[in-house]
């Protein structure tokens, strides 16, 4: 039998990668906290309708990428492909629509049946922030600033460019949609198969197409920003003015439409060219229509999500896990005392290993390879004299200390 492999598009997060991802998530919690986003968590699966309507039946995510299944009771469920719809559903389910605004942070696995490649997985991880309960443009600027702040904190802001667009309000998009259809119809035979399908279902998404045959046609298409209503223009100006006031660089990308149906007004992405074709590390925008799509009231909201794997690729954190101390059993009779000593050291916050090997030399060798700066050696003689041998791994120097003083001594040495 062939050894089992993880499912295509999934990955085991082995300690090195997991610790880097933890580092990213911890930084995100810290930065999000400065903006008032509080951690919450929604279930990994939801009723299929939570995603199908808000994200758009014709969106790639819903049409081709969801992991949907019937459970044993015949209910259609979907593994969450993203967090925003679930968070909004949770806000409504928990009766929080009367106590707005609310600011939420979340992190966890998401699932999309996409073609796997570097930076694109079928199970991946996102961190996200959602600012729910305001139509105020400064909230968009705050969310974008928070995302930029996270990149800065991770030391990768200079590797990313911020692209912005305004999708306007429904009136702006309706006006634009009919003009765009009029333009694209003349080229419909030359469009990619996907875009031909989108022409009837969701023509705006054609602007986002990566197909070469579409790119040429899109280049000369009318631009959405020429059809924005006065209110939509004013909204976008307040967002970009606020960003400029706080020295956040941005670039207009009139083709940035994002892949999900719930967006209006501001749409944004932080993109890097250091990751090949999967260069979008953060995506977000305003989603004022989402609450009503889920049966809730008309609520303004804006947020972003970042791909944790993609952020992790960009950071240069190569620190390996290191122990502080090894407790070395020199004679079998000392095993229990050594075990108890290791526990005491752990309880004061130190990382402690008890190397298991057949010979003392091998145990010390392991202590070295684990990065321990000290080894505490305990054998028959030490038990009889209530002492320990302490070995300084770098110099090789060794000395005897009283057992009763060992923990305080090591703590002082390693924590100073």
Give the nearer residue to ligand HAM in terms of CB position, either 120 or 173: 120
Work out how close the CB of 82 gets to ligand HAM at its nearest, in angstroms, rounded to a whole number.
3
As a whole number of angstroms, the distance between CA 413 and CA 306 comes to: 40
Shortest Å distance, C-beta 348 to ligand HAM: 40
Q: How many CB atoms lie within 10 A of CB 222?
A: 14
Q: Which residues contact 341 (CB under 8 A, 6 or more apart)?
A: 327, 376, 378, 388, 403, 406, 407
Least distance CB 84 / ligand HAM (angstroms):
4
- Indicate the residue among 240 and 280 with the shorter CB distance to ligand HAM: 280
Binding site for ligand HAM (CB under 6 A): 82-84, 112, 114, 119-121, 124, 126, 128, 130, 259, 280-285, 287, 303-307, 309-310
Name the residue among 228, 201, 156, 224 with its Cα closest to residue 59. 201
Position with the least CB separation from ligand HAM: 307
Q: How far apart are CA 41 and CA 25, in angstroms?
A: 14
What's the min distance (Å) between Cβ of 161 and ligand HAM? 13
Angle, CA of 363, 367 and 372, to the nearest 5°: 160
CB-nearer residue toward ligand HAM: 303 or 379: 303
Residues 355, 367: contact at Cβ < 8 Å?
yes
CB nearer to ligand HAM: pick between 257 and 374: 257
* Smallest separation, CB 216 to ligand HAM (Å): 25
CB of 183 to ligand HAM, least distance (A): 26
Q: Shortest distance, CB of residue 26 to ligand HAM, whole angstroms? A: 18
- Choice between 100 and 354, CB closer to ligand HAM: 100
**How many other β-carbons are positioned within 10 Å of the β-carbon of residue 113?**
15
Distance between CA atoms of residues 248 and 151, nearest Å? 12
Residue nearer to ligand HAM on the CB measure, 283 or 355: 283
Residue 318 CB neighbour total at 10 angstroms: 7
Looking at the Cβ atoms of 146 and 338, the one nearer to ligand HAM is 146
Do 136 and 300 form a contact (C-beta atoms < 8 A)? yes
């Amino acid at each position: 039998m062939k050894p089992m492999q993880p499912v295509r598009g999934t990955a085991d997060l082995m300690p090195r990668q997991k610790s880097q991802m933890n580092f990213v998530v911890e930084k995100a919690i810290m930065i999000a906290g400065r903006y008032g986003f509080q951690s919450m968590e929604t279930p990994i699966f939801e009723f299929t309708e939570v995603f199908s309507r808000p994200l758009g039946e014709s969106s790639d995510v819903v049409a081709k990428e969801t992991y949907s299944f019937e459970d044993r009771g015949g209910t259609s469920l979907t593994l969450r492909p993203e967090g925003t719809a679930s968070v909004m559903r949770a806000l409504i389910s928990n009766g929080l629509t009367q106590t707005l605004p609310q600011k939420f942070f979340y992190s966890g696995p998401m699932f999309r049946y996409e073609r796997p490649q570097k930076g694109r997985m079928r199970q991946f991880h996102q961190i996200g922030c959602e600012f729910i309960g305001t139509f105020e443009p400064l909230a968009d600027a705050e969310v974008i600033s928070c995302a930029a702040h996270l990149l800065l904190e991770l030391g990768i802001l200079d590797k990313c460019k911020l692209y912005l667009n305004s999708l306007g309000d429904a009136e702006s998009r309706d006006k634009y949609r009919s003009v765009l259809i009029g333009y694209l119809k003349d080229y419909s035979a030359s469009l990619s198969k996907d875009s031909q399908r989108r022409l009837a279902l969701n023509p705006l998404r054609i602007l986002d197409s990566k197909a070469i045959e579409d790119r040429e046609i899109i280049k000369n298409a009318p631009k959405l920003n020429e059809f924005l209503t006065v209110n939509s223009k004013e909204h976008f100006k307040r967002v970009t003015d606020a960003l400029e006031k706080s020295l956040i660089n941005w670039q207009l990308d009139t083709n940035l439409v994002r892949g999900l149906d719930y967006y209006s007004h501001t749409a944004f992405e932080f993109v890097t060219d250091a990751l090949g074709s999967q260069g979008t590390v953060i995506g977000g925008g305003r989603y004022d229509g989402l609450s009503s799509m889920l049966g809730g009231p008309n609520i303004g909201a804006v947020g972003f999500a970042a791909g944790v794997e993609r952020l992790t690729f960009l950071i240069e954190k190569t620190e390996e896990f290191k122990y502080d101390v090894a407790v070395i059993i020199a004679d079998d009779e000392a095993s229990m005392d050594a075990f108890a000593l290791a526990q005491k050291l752990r309880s004061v916050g130190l990382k402690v290993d008890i190397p298991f090997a057949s010979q003392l030399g091998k145990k010390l060798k392991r202590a070295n390879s684990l990065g321990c700066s000290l080894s505490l050696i305990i054998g028959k003689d030490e038990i009889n004299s209530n002492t320990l041998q302490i070995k300084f791994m770098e110099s090789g120097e060794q000395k005897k200390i009283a057992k009763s003083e060992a923990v305080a001594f090591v703590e002082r040495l390693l924590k100073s």
